[in-house]
């Protein structure tokens, strides 16, 4: 059996150890369940509609137990649609997502952006850094991270290439949107202002805006976190090796660790 974050059991997604997050041995990292919701939304017909924005609300910790996804069309339309999805365990809803999908038109080509920046160094120019020295975080084994600046072990902004190292679901190829969502949910981790061993800074939500689809497997995050009294905001500019693709935002709940 290949290593994967989830195994399928009918309509249920069974987490493996790779789904585990940094805050509790019993709870998943936010990226994988967010990607499950994104994938379900993409499969709603017509599948050629472009996911311009997706917002995930993590209503409570997503436990290391099987979950399934329900999807509904909230706003039908030929040009603009709103899709909703819910992640459920046997005990009920644990997360939900809404996505704004817009009709794409390949005949419209505005050319290169006026504000285009010089391309960043590619992933092979980045460096690996210690992720969480002495800190259990199994999801770190599921992604490859190459830093161009900063690091999870360095307080402050960071620039890093991130990609899934194993499949999200066993036997299935992750979609470009799923790859972006997984990477975007790491923004607060790579640009942390606080020590993981002393503080919690959990994101109860994630919003990703995109203006085009990811090309390739690697997502570049240029991430920064701002912390206030018990709250925070992590922001990431998202790119691939061809240029900018969008932005992501994470609200943060900040507190002292209680281990």
Residue 200 token pair = 């919690």
- The angle formed by the CA atoms of residues 212, 188 and 21, to the nearest 5 degrees, is 105
Q: Residue range 121-143: average pLDDT? A: 80
Q: For 36-70, write each residue's pLDDT tens digit.
A: 999 999 999 998 899 999 999 999 999 999 999 99
- What does the pLDDT read at residue 215? 97
Question: Which domains does the chain possess?
Answer: 6-104+124-256 (2.40.160.210)
Q: How far is residue 72's CA from residue 90's CA, in Å, rounded to a whole number? A: 19
For 112, phi then psi, to 5°, come to: -65, 145
Q: Which of 64, 92, 118, 94 is nearest to 242 (CA)?
A: 118
For 181, phi then psi, to 5°, come to: -60, -45
Q: Tell me how crowded residue 149 is: count the other CB atoms within 10 A of its CB.
A: 15
Q: For 194-242, write each residue's pLDDT tens digit.
A: 877 788 888 999 999 999 999 999 999 999 999 988 899 999 999 999 9
Q: How far is residue 180's CA from residue 117's CA, in Å, rounded to a whole number? A: 20
Beta-bridge partner residues of 185: none
Q: Which pTM was predicted?
A: 0.93
Q: What confidence tier does 132 reach under pLDDT thresholds 50, 70, 90?
A: low
């Amino acid at each position: 059996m290949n290593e994967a974050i989830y195994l399928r059991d009918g309509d249920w997604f069974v987490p493996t150890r790779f789904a585990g997050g940094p805050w509790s041995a019993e709870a998943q990292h936010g990226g994988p369940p967010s990607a499950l919701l994104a994938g379900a939304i993409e499969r709603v017909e017509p599948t050629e509609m472009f996911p311009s924005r997706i917002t995930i609300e993590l209503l409570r910790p997503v436990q290391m137990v099987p979950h399934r996804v329900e999807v509904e069309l909230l706003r039908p339309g030929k040009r603009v649609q709103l899709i909703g999805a819910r992640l459920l365990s046997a005990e009920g809803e644990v997360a939900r997502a809404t996505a704004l999908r817009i009709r794409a038109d390949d005949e419209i080509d505005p050319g290169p952006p006026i504000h285009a920046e010089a391309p960043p160094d590619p992933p092979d120019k980045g460096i690996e850094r210690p992720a969480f020295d002495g800190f259990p975080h199994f999801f770190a084994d599921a992604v490859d991270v190459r830093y161009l600046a900063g690091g999870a072990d360095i307080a402050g902004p960071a620039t890093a290439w991130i990609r899934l190292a194993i499949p999200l679901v066993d036997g299935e190829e992750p979609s470009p949107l799923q790859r972006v969502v997984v990477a975007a949910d790491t923004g607060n981790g790579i640009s942390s202002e606080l020590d993981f061993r002393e503080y919690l800074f959990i994101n109860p939500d994630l919003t990703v805006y995109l203006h085009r689809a990811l090309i390739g497997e690697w997502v570049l995050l240029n991430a920064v976190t701002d912390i206030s009294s018990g709250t925070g905001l992590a922001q990431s500019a998202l790119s691939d090796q061809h240029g900018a693709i969008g932005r992501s935002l994470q609200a943060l709940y900040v507190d002292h660790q209680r281990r």
